[in-house]
Structure 1
Amino acid sequence: MIFREATRQDLPAVLALLADEDSVVDPARVVTGQAHERAFAAIEADPRNEILVLTDGADGADGAGEVVLGCLQLTYIPGLGQNGQERALVEAVRIRADRRGGGLGAELMRLAAERARERGCGLVQLTSSKRRTAAHRFYERLGFARSHEGFKLHLEP
């Protein structure tokens, strides 16, 4: 397995993971729009944001290339709380539907937490949709605590 920052070439595979968490979506069938391109470029250019991928590490000798098995986005947030330490916000955590249950998600989250620790973050936080009960059990097994109630306000364009 290889854990690394996503490149522009990974964008279709990341979007495929985000498209449907219950089935495998072929990245070749994913349409990347201008909004996706702009968002990826903005994340890539921002030193406080990164999209990370976990791949199978294939060398591509057979022409297949490596397969993105999981992804997440880390955003580093400065703040006055936590004695001025940054915190890491984890979003868009996904593991390919056909590869779940083998520890890849735990490894992805472990590596992300280690990356945040190396950067000096005092904590890692995330939100998860209330309907994703299996994900909640997963995060709790990793040591995340339900410490806050989250709120969102969708803004109309």
Structure 2
Amino acid sequence: MSAPDPTVAFRRARREDVPAIVALLADDTIAVQRDAELAEHAPGDAISDYVRAFEAIDLDPRNFLLVAEQHGTIVGTLQLTYIPSLSRRGSERAQVEAVRVHRDLRGRGLGKRMMEWAIDRARERGCRLVQLTTDKRRTDAHRFYAGLGFESSHEGMKLKL
């Protein structure tokens, strides 16, 4: 496995990134099977729906939509959401959603770097748990998340911090 390209930078997503993010989401067979909107429409057909969702995420201080950018191209994304909770002594938990890496960069460490970034942000914020869910058919993803320390403790996966 080659080292991740140091020219990949992480930043908060911007409105103009929405089509590229939707394209990453749509480049996934399982997601398309699960999400009829991705299957029925090209990203441009329903872009106003995605922009509306992006704006809600972007305005919410408990959400962060990350993009990984390489040479001006969006090559990865994930959403990090902080959830207040009464469990775990009233601590927040971080929920990771919609992790995607461009097909040409998979297996090169970018997904690991993105997840480590999300875990670091959760620690900095004082979260005591990072959680995610992954489709049962994603056996490669299960190994990937387990390699980062996540445990299959429920139907989702959790990492104690």
Runs of 4+ in 1 over 3 A off after TM superposition: none
Unmatched segments (≥5 aa) in structure 2: 1-7, 30-41, 157-161
Which of 43, 66, 82 is the matching residue for 1:30? 43
Give the equivalent residue in structure 2 for 1:62.
Answer: none
Give the equivalent residue in structure 2 for 1:68.
Answer: 74
Which of 100, 123, 141 is the matching residue for 1:94? 100
- Decide whether the 8 Å contact of 1:21 with 1:97 is kept in 2: no
Q: Does 1:21 align with 2:28?
A: yes
Q: Name the one with the larger helix percent.
A: 2
> Partner of 1:93: helix, strand, or coil?
strand
The CA deviation at 1:34 is 2.1
> Partner of 2:137: helix, strand, or coil?
coil
> Partner of 1:109: helix, strand, or coil?
helix
Q: In structure 1, what is the Cα distance between the partners aligned to 2:9 and 2:28?
A: 21
The CA deviation at 1:116 is 1.2
Q: Please, what is the CA RMSD of the aligned residues? A: 1.3
The CA deviation at 1:35 is 1.4
The CA deviation at 1:142 is 0.9
Q: In structure 2, what is the Cα distance between the partners aligned to 1:6 and 1:95?
A: 15
TM norm structure 1: 0.82
Q: Does 1:8 align with 2:15?
A: yes
TM norm structure 2: 0.80
Q: In structure 1, what is the Cα distance between the partners aligned to 2:24 and 2:90?
A: 34
The CA deviation at 1:132 is 1.1
> Partner of 1:72: helix, strand, or coil?
strand
Q: In structure 2, what is the Cα distance between the partners aligned to 1:69 and 1:89?
A: 21
The CA deviation at 1:120 is 1.3
Deviations 1:36-71 (A, max 9, x none): 111011000000112101111x3xxxxxxx111110
Unmatched segments (≥5 aa) in structure 1: 23-28, 59-65, 151-157
Q: In structure 2, what is the Cα distance between the partners aligned to 1:138 and 1:91?
A: 15
